[in-house]
Structure 1
């Protein structure tokens, strides 16, 4: 499948248009790409002709060889890096992390060149991993999906908790924009377009896509494992923050401040929604993460204890026995014996982290 080029009328349109260069990485997520580019298409014209009047977009690549999405559909770039004129925005769309090649040196160089020329760089889904490799995120906050948070920490150990944001849909930090992916690509596209166009223009595009109102960047990401969909947004964000800071338990006062609540308000709301205090739930999050690491890695118990905010292996062992009824080593041995055991372990860990 190839994406059609814009109408030839594009050559006669004013250069005042906002120019977007879209870079698709191998095994990119089709939803992230299509949601973003459809917001551009529907906001670019007053009528329903999808002409690039207000903004223009181009799919760029190292070569014109098709790029395969994670679902198998292939998109052919419209122009190469060398052919493309400077862009106002360069949007890097990622997808699968553990399958196929990563961005090559020419791609990283193109991103760095665009950043040096003053373009705003946008990372969607795992596109932020490539931006990090390109070295264009220094001093900026970065939004990652809660699902890929630990992958990011593993690949970029220099990243710290203050830099990473895994509890929001997207983050706009000066000329760097990062988005958790999926449906949020529509929301971040809308936020970008509102920088340049009136609200009615952007709202029209959202309604055509049957989205309604856009989600703001500080809206929480969809609930992680163990959360009911109806959970209060403040509590969703609180638990995402707990997972993001699993190596350092956030004091109640600091957690409440991040949520614009008083500690007393947070405790009342948390107890009403989960039946647990924030401190108790945070400990369960840390134990659930430790259980996952035991079954998905060969890291030592002492290393896992340190990563999950326990003082040492003995501390983790005591708390782990209370939660799972066995020491960490026995849990690992029992749960990693076969593929079926692995599946059972995932279900067990997910259930153990569920809200009671």
Structure 2
């Protein structure tokens, strides 16, 4: 009689704690990488990896888009996991996790279990004191929100994820898939990580140092009104708002907004907005193969020539020249960075 085939031992076990109104895309991207790495092809059997959603009750948890996820196990019945992943909810919702869930995270940290913060899950871990002494990653979109809540902290908003000992934090979105692939590679193997991403139509695994597609401001605003205005600018680069629109939304007059910008940053709102759009354009020119027209439209310019004229006037270089210089840097590491060459024109 043939002996039964041996079932491989689990190599990676992950538990999820979902905040009320959690970010569905971050959760889905992360868990799908685990699912695809756990079995052959996309059969989805939890052979090499397993995952579970925990909660203090078994009531479905709603995501920020309204879709609900059913937890599988109560927190008091939780086992031992390689990682506990916290998926955050809406900014400012301090009640996103109940007291039992918060106590569970404190116990896991005390037991030495690595904690992962996805998207605004970083805010939850920081609020619980579980990121004290650790570097942490925050989405550029929520950079100012983080500073407003945790004035003494300096988050990293120019990487897709950060690994600091037993704390792993991620900006969210597709970055969650890359962080999950990092863990799969660590515990299961590189082939499993590559397979997962390829099935998800993600061409290659990105390291945590890969820059986020968004941006943090080079100048840190001190005025609360200016902070709010700059955040709205960052969130509306493709379709820029007028200064009148920004003023109206913020409940102040245009002249008041301009005066506060000049006092705080030494520049007008229009100039700060333009710099943000140009920085985003340069970032896309460096990090993508999109056409100049596509880059222009994504950054709020009418067309390619409009971007070219503006970039030449403001930074002394056209998009084509900038890309050529960046390609040259890749071939000659001792060449001065283009950003340094252009800084005098800023």
TM superposition score category, shorter chain reference: 0.5 to 0.7
* Alpha-carbon distance between aligned partners in 1 of 2:52 and 2:161, rounded to the nearest angstrom: 23
Instruction: State the 1:288 CA deviation.
Output: 6.7
Q: Give the structure 1 partner of residue 263 of structure 2.
A: 316
- Does 2:212 align with 1:200? no
Instruction: State the 1:292 CA deviation.
Output: 6.8
Find the partner of 1:149 among 130, 143, 148: 143
Q: Give the structure 2 partner of residue 242 of structure 1.
A: 218
SS for the counterpart of 1:109 is helix
Q: Give the structure 2 partner of residue 289 of structure 1.
A: 230
- The 1:178–1:318 alpha-carbon spacing in structure 2 relative to 1, beyond 3 Å, is closer
- Does 2:164 align with 1:217? no
Q: Give the structure 1 partner of residue 31 of structure 2.
A: 37
SS for the counterpart of 1:207 is helix
Unaligned runs of 5+ in 1: 1-11, 225-239, 248-284, 305-312, 326-347
* Alpha-carbon distance between aligned partners in 2 of 1:51 and 1:96, rounded to the nearest angstrom: 32
Instruction: State the 1:18 CA deviation.
Output: 1.9
Count of matched residue positions in the alignment of Structure 1 and Structure 2:
255
Instruction: State the 1:169 CA deviation.
Output: 0.4
- The 1:40–1:317 alpha-carbon spacing in structure 2 relative to 1, beyond 3 Å, is closer
Q: TM-score, with normalisation over the residues of structure 2?
A: 0.65
Instruction: State the 1:319 CA deviation.
Output: 2.9
Contact 1:166 1:241 (8 Å CA) reproduced: no
* Alpha-carbon distance between aligned partners in 2 of 1:148 and 1:223, rounded to the nearest angstrom: 11
How big is each residue's C-alpha offset from its partner over 1:213-250, in whole Å with a ceiling of 9 and x where there is no partner? 012111111134xxxxxxxxxxxxxxx3625x556xxx
Q: Once structures 1 and 2 are overlaid, which stretch shifts more, 42-51 or 286-295?
A: 286-295
* Alpha-carbon distance between aligned partners in 1 of 2:173 and 2:101, rounded to the nearest angstrom: 23
Instruction: State the 1:73 CA deviation.
Output: 0.6
**Superposed, which structure 2 residues align to 1:99-138 within 5 Å?**
101-138=95-132
How big is each residue's C-alpha offset from its partner over 1:272-320, in whole Å with a ceiling of 9 and x where there is no partner? xxxxxxxxxxxxx999739979957799xxxx9xxxxxxxx79717934
Contact 2:9 2:47 (8 Å CA) reproduced: no
- The 1:290–1:105 alpha-carbon spacing in structure 2 relative to 1, beyond 3 Å, is closer
Contact 2:141 2:214 (8 Å CA) reproduced: no
Contact 2:21 2:96 (8 Å CA) reproduced: no
Unaligned runs of 5+ in 2: 1-5, 235-245, 279-309, 311-346
Contact 2:11 2:187 (8 Å CA) reproduced: no
- Does 2:176 align with 1:185? yes
- The 1:51–1:298 alpha-carbon spacing in structure 2 relative to 1, beyond 3 Å, is same
- The 1:81–1:317 alpha-carbon spacing in structure 2 relative to 1, beyond 3 Å, is closer
